Structure 1
Amino acid sequence: MLMKDGVKMIVLIGIVILAIAAYVGLLVYQQRIRRQVATLTTKKEAMEAIPLKDELQLVGQLSLTGQSLEDYENLQSDFSEITENRFTRIDDQLAQLLSDSRGVNLIQLRQNLTKVTTLVDQTDELIKSVQEQLTHLQEVDKQHRAAVKELEQKYQGLRKTLLAKNFAFGPSIDGLEEQLSQLEDNFDTFSRLTQEGDHQRAADVLNQLHDDTAVLEGLIKAIPPLYKDLTVVFPDQVKELRSGYQQLSADNYHFGDQNVPEMISTIEDHISANLDTLGDLRPDDAKVVNDRIATQIDSIYDLMQTEIDAKSPVEANLDGVAKFIAHAQNQSHALMAELDRLSQNYTLDHQEIETARELNEQLRGIDGIYQRDMQDLTGKTATYSQVLAHQEQQQKDLEQIEQQQADILKSVAGLADEEKQARDTLQQFDFDLHSLRRQVENLNLPGIPQTYLDYFFVVRDEVAQLATDMDQPQIDMERITKQLLIIQTDLDTLQEKTDDLIDSSELAEQLLQYANRYQTSHENVATASKEAADLFENKHQYAKALETIATVLDEVEPGSYKRLEDAYYQSKGKEKPKRDTDDTK
């Protein structure tokens, strides 16, 4: 029983604690609501303190019209909405919220607080928007009134410039004054709209005024220098060109196919047409034409100066070019004569005569141009720059021709020496062949290997053919030179074959004699000696005979062959050759 009473007491205490906590929480929340109401009240009072009405009255004094007036009237409506409606609603809602803060409907309190907070914030934003627009209207009015003064002064300055310097604009002056008058009319419209307070329409007119004024200022700046070129600079230059041409013509200067008077007249036509372009207020197009005119004038100056500059070097070059042509012609005649002489005895395989004839024709052409230039100079009809170009090209061509002539002469100059050397070499070849034949005959061999004889006869025939070619009325030295190289190589090979034949035959004889000491005691030596003797005496295969007997001797007396071979070459006073000793090769 006591336990149940204790539990009930604990539950009761818990309920009491919860109730106290809930009550305390309610009091805290109510206090928080009242503080937020106080904050919103302060913010609303601050908004009321803003002198919005004074600002409206100040802007209202601007005598606004049009869109600006409509904007102002909308701002007045916003002001009425704020002062007559929104402020009252804020006061009512804050008072109601403060009254409700003593109750216990916390959800309703939260909703009402959110609602009034939103209203206060929106009102604050509206007030700021009204202030900004009022400030904008004041600023636009200020700017437009300042623009009126600025533009008025600018147009007075432009008018003064056009009046004081109308001579600098030539045919453009009427168009410029017309544009200025149009600008002044538009300015009057802008000024009237500004005075009336219709700043929206005034702004549109002002933008156009700025653009058109910039265009007019650009024209006033661009036209005078262009007009000066067309009326002062270019005419003076044209006058100087015409006078210069007349003076140069009197001094017998000519300009080829260039019609200078016509070129000058064309420039004058361009000047006249471009004045009309300026009168149409098209300075960009006029500048393009002016640049073209300047280029044309410069080209005529350059044309004249080129002829003036060309005269002195032309006169200075005349004697040198004439001597160069004469020298080249003499060289050509000498070359042709030499080639004709050499062609009687030698075959010229590299078109030397044809090339020399072509060079001679080139010389004829060069001399023809030179003679025509001389006639023009004598007749005072020459264009100096053309003559100078001819002289410069002639100098290059003559240098090239002389070099080619020298190359041809050099290529054939040694033909006689080459022939003499070839004949000496042929004589030496014949001597070498007879010497090799005597060496082989002195061996008194039972026979000569056919392969050796065949090669010997080939070389002998080559030498005979060379002798025949050398005895021709016209010698082809290029072919002779090739034959000499081939025969020399073949003779060297024949010399090696002769040395091989001599060495192998003499060594075979010595080894067969040396082998006699072993024939009775060594059957294999006797057999090899018989085979080697057959190869030597009957088949004339001396290298094979040497190999056969040498092999068996090294078997019965190791090193005997090398010893006998070394002794043989030592007796001959020469080193052992490193070559194949096969008679068949």
Structure 2
Amino acid sequence: MIGVLIGIVILAIVAYVGVLAYQQRVRRQVATLTAKKETMVAIPLTDELELVGQLSLTGQSLEQYQQLEDDFTDITENRFTRIDEALTKLTADSRGINLVQLRQDLNKVTLLVSQTDELVQSVQAKLAGLQEVDKQHRQAVHDLEQKYQGLRKTLLAKNFAFGPSIDGLEERLSQLEDNFDTFTRLTQEGDHERAADVLSQLDTDTDELEGLIKAIPPLYKDLTVVYPDQLKELKSGYDQLTSQHFHFGEQDIPQMVTDINNHVTENLETLGDLRPDDAKVVNDRIAKQIDQIYDLMQTEIDAKTPVEKNLDNVAKFIGHAQNQSHALLNELDRLSQNYTLDHQELETARELNEQLRNIDGTYQRDVQDLTGQTATYSVILEHQQQQEKDLQQIEEQQADILKSVAGLADEERQARDTLQQFDFDLHSLRRQVENLNLPGIPQEYLDYFFVVRDEVAQLATDMDQPQINMERITKQLLIIQTDLDTLREKTEDLIDSSQLAEQLLQYANRYQTSHDNVAEASEKAAQLFEHDFQYAQALETIATVLDEVEPGSYKRLEDAYYARKGTAKPKRRTEEE
């Protein structure tokens, strides 16, 4: 029971202390709000209203000022009073214990002070804004007045530099001055909202006029001084060059000058309409056209000297190429009597000769034009440059053709020597086989021999033709050489196998009575040798059985054979080979 009472007492003490702390906090906040309100009161809105009121405002500016006066009255006669009353009440209520109501009242007065502060700041800023706008507009009046005086002075002092644009520029300046008078009146009356709209347009129009005054003089100078002088110089230069018999091909320079003069006149009208951007585009085009005419003239002047210098060189070049062509055609005609030309050498040479005729025809016409003083030097220079390239290419092709056929006679001579050697080799191989006195020749060997013999015979026939196809002959030579090498190997194989087989059959006689397998193998080998003419098989048959009876005997006899023959033992050819 006592513990409960103690707890209640402690809770009461804690609650009391909390109430006292909150009351103290509220009183501190009341003091802060009071100080903030005094700060707002100290702002000299009354003095600022009086200063702005002396500006003789009208229109929207006056309406804004009147609204600020109403806001000021609301602040001083309503809001400040409500704040004082609320703060006084809060101070008194802060001694009570109705903390919920106290908190609500504190929140309300805090919001009221904050809103009033924002309104005070807004009124002060807008009053300062009205003063600043009035100051800016009055300064603008002064600045624009000075600027228009300068523009007027420029137009009066340098009206010659603007040509047909001067009337339009003066009219623009007069319109600006009228608008400036309106701006000045609105500023003096204090109607700064309308004055601001007029000022914005004035700034835009003034910048545009200044841009026109800056852009037009150089354009007008080009159209009235620079271009006319250049066109006059071009006409004089053209007359001088034509008197010296210069020509310009299809370019009609007098008409080009006339066209440019027309563009100049038209562009002056564009400039008079105050369209300098469009006029500049046309001016740039005129300048390029004038440069083009200068370039045309300079091109002809520059071309004259190299054209005259190149005449003899080109003539010699053409003459040399024609001589080369004549000699090449004669040589090809002669060679075509004896040889087949498979790569259109003659046709190509004739085409090159036709190109030379065309080049010479162009050259002769150019010489006539130069002699008749009707030549366009740049055109002839282009002809000469192209002719040198074409002639260089023609001579290179002529040399390639001549080189390709130059060795035909030597190739024929070498081919005939080779054919003779082939025939000799065939007879030599035939005698070697005949000297063996064999019972017969293997059909496979005979077939291959006759193939090679027929190839040699065909080669001899082809080389006895009125026209020899050396390309085909060369291919035949390569084929026959390969086949002849193979026949030579086959002949060696035939000689070696037949000679060895004969020796081994004789050597086997010593074993026939004592070894039935030797007798049987000897009989089979003799059949292959004497009747079937299969000497390699006969050798294989008898050699195999001898190695069984007398190991190493075949190798010993074989080595002795090649030693007597004086050649190295060849690689044993397989049956497929």
Q: TM-score of the superposition, structure 2-length normalised?
A: 0.98
Spell out the pairing of 1:26-425 with structure 2 (5 A cutoff): 26-425=19-418
Q: Confirm or deny: 8 A CA contact 1:328 1:398 kept in the other structure.
A: yes
State the shift of 1:508 in Å.
Answer: 0.8
User: Is the counterpart of residue 565 in structure 1 residue 558 in structure 2?
Assistant: yes
Report if the CA contact (8 A) 1:504-1:581 is conserved: no
Q: Kindly indicate whether residue 522 of structure 2 is the aligned counterpart of residue 541 of structure 1.
A: no
SS at match of 2:114: helix
Q: Following TM superposition, by how much is the alpha carbon of 1:53 offset from its aligned partner in structure 2, in angstroms?
A: 0.7
Please tell me whether the aligned partners of residues 37 and 94 of structure 1 are also in contact (alpha carbons under 8 angstroms): yes
Tell me, yes or no, if the aligned pair for 1:500 and 1:581 is still in contact at 8 Å.
no
- Equivalent position SS for 2:36: helix
The offset of 1:28, in angstroms, is 2.9
SS at match of 1:565: helix
Per-residue CA deviation, residues 347-385 of structure 1 (Å, 9 max, x unaligned), is 111111111111111111111111111111110001011
Residue type at the aligned position of 2:532: K
Deviation at 1:146, TM superposition (A): 1.0
Q: How does 1:6-25 map to 2 (within 5 A)?
A: 7=1, 9-25=2-18
The 2-side partners of 1:82 and 1:16 are apart by 50
Contact 1:418 1:477 in 2 (8 A): yes
RMSD: 1.3
SS of residue paired to 2:247: coil
Instruction: Please tell me whether the aligned partners of residues 332 and 360 of structure 1 are also in contact (alpha carbons under 8 angstroms).
Output: yes
Matched residues in 1 for 2:574 and 2:29: separation? 131
- The alpha-carbon deviation at position 449 of structure 1 amounts to 0.3
Report the residue type matching 1:207 in the other structure: S
Query: Taking structure 1 as reference, are residues 551 and 203 closer, same or farther at Cα in structure 2, changes over 3 Å only?
Result: same
Match of 1:460 in 2: 453
Aligned residues: 577
Q: In the aligned structure 2, how far is the partner of 1:22 from the partner of 1:345?
A: 141
1:341 partner letter? R
Helix, strand or coil: the match of 1:425? Answer: helix
Map of 2:436 onto structure 1: 443
Distance 1:10 1:353 in 2: 140
The structure 1 residue matched to 2:498, chosen from 502, 505, 508, is 505
Further displaced range: 572-581 or 168-177: 572-581
- Counterpart amino acid of 2:329? M
| Deviations 1:83-131, CA, capped at 9 Å, x for gaps | 0001111111111222222222111111111111111111111101111
Higher mean C-alpha displacement, 26-35 vs 387-396: 26-35
State the Cα distance separating 1:37 from its structure 2 match.
1.8
Distance 1:336 1:19 in 2: 139
User: Structure 1 529/95 Cα, relative in aligned 2: closer, same or farther at 3 Å?
Assistant: same
Please tell me the residue identity of whatever aligns with 2:294: Y
Q: State the 1:13 CA deviation.
A: 4.0
Three-state SS of the structure 2 residue aligned to 1:102 is coil
- 1:316 is matched by which residue type in structure 2? K
Cα deviation for residue 14 of structure 1 reads 3.8
Deviation at residue 492 of structure 1 after TM alignment: 0.6
Q: In structure 1, what residue type is equivalent to 2:279? A: A
Could you list the per-position Cα deviations for residues 115-152 of structure 1 after superposition, in whole angstroms to 9, with x for gaps in the alignment? 11111111111101111111111111111111111111
Question: How many Å separate the matches in 2 of 1:328 and 1:187?
Answer: 86
In structure 2, the partner of 1:576 is 569
Percent identity (aligned)? 80
Instruction: Report the CA distance between 1:46 and its aligned residue.
Output: 1.8
Shift of 1:346: 1.2
The answer for unaligned runs of 5 or more in structure 1 is 1-6
Specify whether residues 143 and 440 from structure 1 end up closer, same or farther in structure 2 by C-alpha distance, changes over 3 A only.
Answer: same
SS at match of 1:63: coil
Is the 1:543–1:581 Cα contact (8 Å) retained in structure 2? no
Secondary structure of the corresponding residue to residue 469 of structure 1: helix
Q: Aligned partners of 1:420, 1:20: CA distance in 2, in Å?
A: 143
Shift of residue 579 of structure 1? 4.2
Shift of 1:521: 2.1
Instruction: Give the deviation of 1:581 after TM superposition.
Output: 5.5
Offset of residue 227 of structure 1? 0.7
Distance in 1 between residues matched to 2:136 and 2:61, nearest whole Å: 14
Instruction: Quote the residue 1:495 is aligned against.
Output: 488
Q: For residue 3 of structure 1, what is the aligned residue in structure 2?
A: none
Question: CA shift at 1:10, angstroms?
Answer: 4.2
In structure 2, runs of 5+ residues without a counterpart are none
Q: Extract structure 1 runs of 4+ deviating beyond 6 A.
A: none
SS in structure 1 opposite 2:568? coil
Shift of the 28–460 alpha-carbon distance from structure 1 to 2, 3 Å rule, reads closer
What letter matches 1:173 in structure 2? I
